[in-house]
Structure 1
Amino acid sequence: MPTKEQVRSFIDESETPVGKREIARAFNIKGADRIYLKKLLKELVDEGHLEKGRKRELAPAGALPAVAVIEVERLDKGGEPVARPVSWQEDGKPPLIYIVPQGRARSSAPGVGDRLLARLARQKDGTYEARVIRHLEAAAGPVLGVYSKVGKDGRVQPTNRKLKKEVIVRAENSMGAQTGEVVLCDILPGKAFALPEGRVTQRIGPMGDAASLSLIAIHAHGIPDVFDDAAIKEALAAKPVSLGKRTDLRGLPLITIDPADARDRDDAVWAAPDDDPNNEGGWQAIVAIADVAHYVTHGSALDKAARLRGNSVYFPDRVVPMLPHELSSDLCSLHENVDRPVMAVRMWFDAEGNKLRHTFMRALMRSVASLTYRQAQNAHDGETDDKTDMLRDDVIEPLFSAYAALKKARKKRQPLDLDLPERQIEFGEDGFIKAVHKRERFEAHMLIEEFMIQANVSAAETLVKLKRPCMFRVHEPPTADKMLGLHETLGEMNIRFAKGQVVTTASLNRVLEQADSEIDRELVSSLILRSQSQAVYSPDNLHHFGLHLQNYAHFTSPIRRYADLLVHRSLIAALKLGDGGLKDEEAVEFEEIGTDISASERRAMVAERETTDRFTAVFLANKVGEIFQAKVSGVTRAGLFLTLDDSGADALAPISTLGNDFFNFDPEKHMLIGKRTGEVFRLADRLAVRLREVDIVTGSMIVEVEDGRPGTAARTRRPQPGRKQTSPGKVPLKAAKKKKRTTPKGKKRATRRQEKR
């Protein structure tokens, strides 16, 4: 007979709770000996070593059931979701639950805050693996939505696409809300299967108004947008910085180059030929970054506010800053013709763009000009204006010449070269949306991008060399499963991508080169991006796959990213550059901080994307019925996902709009295949679509495929076994003849149909 320890060991090592039958079978216990086993198990339960679950199953004390509701708590270093049990009654922290990917066919990756019903398997280290059974609706809580009057009462349509039910609001609970207003309401207790009832707690503003569209995202994602009094007090008390022991860079013509709608300016650049005779054709460059660490010190109210936010969040009409306006838009912003404190790195490059050395300094600078990307590009192209005319030869051209050298090294390094244009919302003077288009990208953008990358590399290399704490920007290589899916998808687009090869950025760039057009390149870029791991912040140097760099950290945007501020503090402490350096107690928290700010970054990205979708929906709302050119960017059982060429907006063509046929879905080849006609819709098809429906609340759009119109793809038809191909909408000849047969049984059925009519 087994001992208590042996039974406990068996149950501990079992992935799921087990019953008495499984234990008896494992130890070959039969007949009357089962009485002994029953007594032994009762003792283990009474002693607290085991717990009884449902169906009289046994598991170690504190173990989770085989099936449970879990909630995604955070993302791990690789960007994969980590969950916790929703119900946890034990002392101490609950065990970690790692969600097992469900393969390419899964509907969507769970995000932070998502609730899931999952099947759990306990691992030997005490953690659990979860296989998702289904996504659950979010727990009842404040709901943001659009109010509309229905009789005496009203209803709220949630802005969250996951919430399918409208909320009933009685007149006495409406706070006087009017139809079309965005409101926040609490859910009241009610019946499980009825529509929920709510009470309006805040009236935000009319739907469609720019302010309301941004506030929807701020409320829906819980983005902190109000600074406490202590942080505001510290910001108001901040003063300009004098030279002191800083290096004086005010004699150098540093300039800032930013988008026309930039809200802050945290980086300035300068370049000139290297005067070292041993570096013929080489260059020297300075990247100067706002010295936020001078104003935001560890443990201060400003520091706590910045860590809570993690980063600034940018919407088409506003920014929710990481730091109060007094710092982010004033004292820390590198405006022209004013003295500003900076952390600067001076770098030397050879004629081929390889970095030879670098040095950091704490300095004081004065920008000679704040330029836009278009201004800098126009000046380089020979079209100067009043501001750039005097700067072109001595300031702007050296920057472009230095970039030409850096570009050689970049090409040799082969970072991932994705073409992912941004959507830009353009407002008219009246404050209404004037246009939605792809943001222009100039060589000036790539110039600044490459200078910033070199500065970031220099920061990481310095901290690695000195063995000091660093918040690395980590991007791990894509998994084999994701690459297999990418191989199959690209194969359907006739793009070569060898199966099972060692994936490098160079091999992915060769894939991009096979795209026939700009629109194809954008789609392939999107597919490659989806196959990548999530980039995260971590104190562990796991390298950056996408940029093909061994040492990489964010250094260049401390006004809007907390990670950059931490890197500044570590450099200050490591290089003994004065006050504001990293504290030992802060370095201990790097892993936790990295997890937190990675989650904040993902939250901001989702909120920004959703808001852009809503702004685009508002712009296209009065274009319902118009025809647009589009590209198929996704194929599902529900229909086609398309991206409109002009605006970059995403839309769904439901399967019911694709034609008079039944379509089978092939998930491996990303196809919808007509059962009767053999008509095929596939990824990357070019189609003309008619805008049928716009939902401003959710930012979603419905389109229908136009057949035979200019720009429509010549969709292929797959031969059906034993069947001749026919034109769309026509019944094959065999089927037509079959319908005309008049057997006695057929006549009987026909007579019955006539009687029913």
Structure 2
Amino acid sequence: MSFPDRQTVLDFLKENPDATSKADIARGLKVKGQERAVLRDVLKQLEEEGKLERTGKRSFAQADRPPPSGLVEFTRLTKEGDLVGQCVGDSGLFGPELIYGGPSGKSRGRAPGKGDRAVCKIVGREDGEWRAYVITLLEKRLSDRIVGLYEHAPRGGRVIPASRKERRELLIQEGDRKGAKDGDLVVAEPKPQGRRQLGPPLGVVKEVIGHITDARSASLIAIYAHDIPVDFPEAALVEAREKEPADAPRTDLRNTPLITIDPHDARDHDDAVWAEQTEDGGWKVIVAIADVAAYVTEGSALDKEAEKRGNSTYFPDRVVPMLPFELSADACSLRENEDRPCMAVEMIFSADGHKKRHRFLRATMRSAAKLSYEEAQAAIDGKPGGKAEELLETVLKPLWGAYAAVSKARDIRSPLDLDMPERRIMFTPEGELDGIVTKVRLDAHRLIEEFMIQANVAAAETLEQKNSPVMYRVHDTPSDAKVAAFAEFLQTLDMKWNIGERPQTHKFNKLLAEIRGGDYEGMISQMVLRTQAQAIYSEENLGHFGLNLAKYAHFTSPIRRYADLIVHRALIRAHDFGPDGLSERGAARLEEVAEHISMTERRSMAAERDATDRYLAIFLSDRVGAEFDGRITGVTPAGLFVALAGSGADGFVPISSISEDYWIHDEAAVAVYARGSGKTFSIGQIVRVRLREVTPLQGGLLLEMLSEPLPAPPGRQAARQAITRERGGPRSRSGGGGGGGPPRRGKPKFDKRTLPKKGKPKRR
């Protein structure tokens, strides 16, 4: 029997109730190396059997036994009048029910009630009941703050929230507006009100952050709403201005004509590439990355701030960087014709593109040229100019030759082939919206992307070979539940998917190739995307399903990702490249840091998406009444989400506005259909819509459906009759479930005062 086994884990948790995380269990049982994978499988099995409950991303508790103390939420009153609650974890409530047993020690305030949370001491009794004794009762209060639009009134004003999820407005008394004027964007907090409960809650303006007429207000709202750190501490700025790179032995690569290839407006250049053909017909490729670890040393003010931010956040009109611009755009930017410290990997590929070996170097380089993707591609396509023309034969053609070889191996590897279009919002030099363009994917983009992937793989392989801690970038295999839902969806289209086999990227790719150009291309592509897990950082290797790679670590962007900085430090330590490698304390914190930077990445993605939605709403604010083609990207009982062609903006069609039919939600088919006729709107369907309302403050678009639904799909009638029977026949259009109209929160509020008053966008 392998170690650790199930009973060993359960016995350990029973004897050590404070050991809740996987790391605690691994340390307590002295689990190392390959045994960690066994432990992961054991914990997963025990969770599936209900013997353990997940209390956080990587923490567990026995399902029938709570911790000795913790956060408790009181959820209900029994018929006998006892107040009952459960422990609170990252994933929600867990463990057996706990009966409120009174205060722990001398009472210092009110007793808890239903809905309250409290830090409690938890004690088991001989009769099997668990009692929760309150140590600290947490005050009920409104969410911390609201970012929104201040609207002035004679005796104060109100704050209209910028978030569509926020249902409250705050009334602002005259003395609490802190100079806010009509149309200002503000951060406001609820004001303690004592027993006052009638009417909207009172608030206090804490900060004025801009004005709604500012063309770049959308990013400001997103930055403050998602708590994206903007200002650097003075200590970090001082270090950025004064810090010299760590003194370490370096290989001299200054005579190797490495070049940077980036977007034409890039301010920082953190990767450079070079290639040459070897005597046996293969290729040598060098990828050099800015040596950020030489400037941002562990435990420094810069390091603490970089870890806090986790990553840079990219908005359509600005970047909130992980590192001060003194580093990201200067000292750590691989500028043309300037010496720069770097970390480099030299990779040797065979003629058919398979990597034979690699080695890492800590080096000094000098970029031979700064090219844009378009300049490099034009030179290869026979239209060279400037620096690209000078380097065409000696640098660019060898790079493209190496890429052609590596692409062969990539095709055999068959990473997931979902090439979703990206759009870019354009601004005038004055900061006004100027248009929206679809980003063109060039071979130059794919070349850099593939060489970066190869360098990342090499980093993970080397660190594993040297038994070093690794910060992996992992993308887990789609879950059984998602694969089953995908198979059920395909079945509604009379297509089959074998759910008994382990998901593989080449099978998804085969399906995508078969339906390309057909009626189902859009909907199946959307569903393949939905089936995928979310990529995260982890100290534990789960592989990268999307790239179809067994091991993968981010190495190539330490200017903008903290994970890459950790990987650089680990490589420095593993190769004894200098005194600034990963410390023992840093290695011990990998699990904690991985969770944090996965969170900051999600935070940045949400902020970037919110800002883009608002900019698109501003761009379309003078197009109310216009008609657009679009694609259905989401289906809910409340209505349909439609992405507009051209701009990619997402709008909402309330189900109650489509027609007088009773519309029923077919969850398996990701569709709604009319009871009786069976006519259908499905995910991926191309439709024609009219723009009815725009709310730039919230980034909301309300659409009207103009297209007729499609005929009922063949073979779906029996399943839909079963859905109708299960729901008890016809439903009112205004009712709940699958047949009713949308909750009013699904419709953005339209208020002309939230529209920009000047600087309407130009349109191309």
Is this a same-fold pair by TM over 0.5? Answer: yes
Letter in 2 for 1:199: V
Describe the shift of the 1:90–1:559 C-alpha distance in structure 2 as closer, same or farther (beyond 3 A): farther
Distance in 1 between the 2:613 and 2:333 partners? 30
Deviation, structure 1 residue 622: 1.3
> What amino acid is the match of 2:296?
V
Matched, 1:55 2:78: yes
Instruction: Find the counterpart in structure 2 of residue 545 from structure 1.
Output: 545
Residue pairs, 1:425-574, within 5 angstroms:
425-492=425-492, 496-517=496-517, 521=521, 524-574=524-574
The answer to which of 146-155 and 223-232 deviates more is: 146-155
The 1:307–1:82 alpha-carbon spacing in structure 2 relative to 1, beyond 3 Å, is farther
TM-score (structure 1 length as normaliser): 0.76
Residue of structure 2 in register with 1:195 after alignment: 200
Q: Which moved more, 1:378-387 or 1:300-309?
A: 378-387
RMSD: 3.4
Please say if 1:274 is aligned against 2:278. Answer: yes
Partner of 1:219: 224
Checking the alignment, whether the CA contact within 8 Å between 1:680 and 1:715 is kept in structure 2 is yes
SS of residue matched to 2:665 = strand
Partner of 1:726: none
Mapped partners of 1:705, 1:138: distance in 2? 41
Question: TM-score, normalized by length of structure 2?
Answer: 0.75
Percent identity of paired positions between Structure 1 and Structure 2: 45
Give the structure 2 partner of residue 611 of structure 1.
Answer: 611
Given residue 316 of structure 1, which amino acid in structure 2 is its aligned partner? P
Q: Is the 8 A contact 1:420 1:526 kept in 2?
A: no
Aligned to 2:30: none
- In the alignment, the residues of structure 1 paired with residue 626 and residue 653 of structure 2 have an alpha-carbon distance, to the nearest angstrom, of 15
Assess if the C-alpha contact under 8 Å between 1:678 and 1:718 holds in 2: no
Cα contact 2:616–2:649 (8 A) shared by 1? yes
Give the match for residue 63 of structure 2: none
Deviation at 1:497, TM superposition (A): 3.1
Structure 1: gaps (5+ residues): 1-8, 13-46, 74-80, 92-114, 117-121, 128-136, 722-757
1:149 CA drift (Å): 2.8
SS of the aligned residue for 1:222 comes to coil
- Partner deviation per Cα, 1:462-513 (whole Å, 9 max, x = no partner): 1101101111111111111111112223444565533433211111111221
Question: How big is the shift at 1:178?
Answer: 2.7
* 1-structure distance, mates of 2:375, 2:674: 52
| Structure 2 residue identity aligned to 1:402 | A
Q: Which amino acid aligns with 1:421?
A: P
Pair 717,460 (structure 1): closer, same or farther in 2 beyond 3 Å: closer
Q: 1:680–1:718: 8 Å Cα contact kept in structure 2?
A: no
SS of residue matched to 1:389: helix
Counterpart AA for 1:166: E
Q: How does 1:158-237 map to 2 (within 5 A)?
A: 158-190=161-193, 191-192=196-197, 194-237=199-242
Report if aligned partners of 2:459, 2:555 keep a CA contact under 8 Å in 1. Answer: yes
Match runs of 1:133-172 below 5 Å: 139-172=142-175
Q: What amino acid is aligned across from residue 641 of structure 2 in structure 1? A: F
Structure number with larger C-alpha Rg:
1
Matches within 5 A, 1:213-362: 213-239=218-244, 245-275=249-279, 280-362=280-362
Separation of aligned partners in 1, 2:93 and 2:370? 46
State the one-letter code of the partner of 2:166: L
Deviations 1:134-162 (A, max 9, x none): xxx99422211111234543221111222
How many residues are paired up? 615
Task: Give the CA deviation at 1:193.
Answer: 6.0
Higher mean C-alpha displacement, 462-471 vs 180-189: 180-189
Q: Counterpart of 1:385?
A: 385
Distance (Å, rounded) in 1 between the aligned partners of 2:267 and 2:227: 22
Letter paired with 1:274: T
Partner residue of 2:404? 404
Could you tell me how far 1:55 is from its partner in structure 2? 3.3
Corresponding residue number in structure 2 for 1:576: 576
**Could you tell me how far apart the structure 1 residues matched to 2:296 and 2:526 are?**
38
Instruction: Name which of structure 1's ranges 305-314 and 497-506 shifts more when overlaid on structure 2.
Output: 497-506
How far 1:664 sits from its partner (Å)? 1.9
Residue 420 of structure 1 contacts residue 522 of structure 1 at CA under 8 Å; is this kept in 2? Answer: no
Partner of 2:369: 369
CA 1:324–1:501 in structure 2 vs 1: closer, same or farther (change >3 Å)?
same
Alpha-carbon distance between aligned partners in 2 of 1:583 and 1:674, rounded to the nearest angstrom? 63
Q: Which residue of 1 aligns with 2:623?
A: 623
2: CA distance, partners of 1:519 / 1:366: 52
In 2, Cα distance between equivalents of 1:383 and 1:83: 63
Relative distance call for 1:519 and 1:535 in structure 2 (3 A) is: farther
Q: Tell me the amino acid that sits aligned with residue 229 of structure 2.
A: P
1:528-578 alpha-carbon deviations (Å, 9 max, x no partner): 222222211111122111111112101000001111111111111111112
Q: Secondary structure at the match of 1:618?
A: helix
Structure 1: distance between partners of 2:341 and 2:665: 59
- Structure 1 letter corresponding to 2:266: A
The Cα of 1:295 is off from its aligned counterpart by 0.4
Q: Determine the C-alpha separation between the residues in 2 that align with 1:719 and 1:368.
A: 63
Question: What is the rounded CA distance, in whole Å, between the counterparts of 1:570 and 1:58 in structure 2?
Answer: 57
Alpha-carbon distance in 2 for matches of 1:533, 1:218: 26
The equivalent of 2:754 in structure 1 is none
Instruction: Give the Cα separation in 1 of the matches to 2:178 and 2:380.
Output: 58
Tell me, in whole angstroms, the C-alpha distance in 1 between the residues paired with 2:524 and 2:205: 45
Deviations 1:83-136 (A, max 9, x none): 799x99999xxxxxxxxxxxxxxxxxxxxxxx99xxxxx99xx99xxxxxxxxx
Give the letter for the 2:415 counterpart. Answer: P
Distance 1:530 1:719, change over 3 A: closer
**Alignment check: 8 A CA contact 1:452 1:556 kept:** yes
| Letter matched to residue 172 of structure 1 | G
Task: Confirm or deny: 8 A CA contact 1:328 1:559 kept in the other structure.
Answer: yes
Map 1:28-43; keep pairs closer than 5 Å. none
Q: CA deviation at 1:678?
A: 4.0
1:158 maps to a residue whose letter is P
- SS of the aligned residue for 2:515 comes to coil
In the alignment, which residue of structure 2 is the partner of 1:729? none
Q: Distance in 1 between matches of 2:485 and 2:371?
A: 43
- Kindly provide the amino acid, as one letter, of the partner of residue 699 in structure 2: G
Residues 650, 489 of structure 1: CA spacing in aligned structure 2 closer, same or farther, 3 A cutoff?
farther
Question: What's the CA shift for 1:404?
Answer: 0.6
Q: Go from structure 1 to structure 2 and tell me whether the alpha carbon gap of 1:640 and 1:54 turns closer, same or farther (over 3 Å shift).
A: closer
Given the superposition, is the C-alpha separation of residues 218 and 488 from structure 1 closer, same or farther in structure 2, using an over 3 Å criterion?
same
- Quote how far apart the aligned CAs of 1:644 are: 1.1
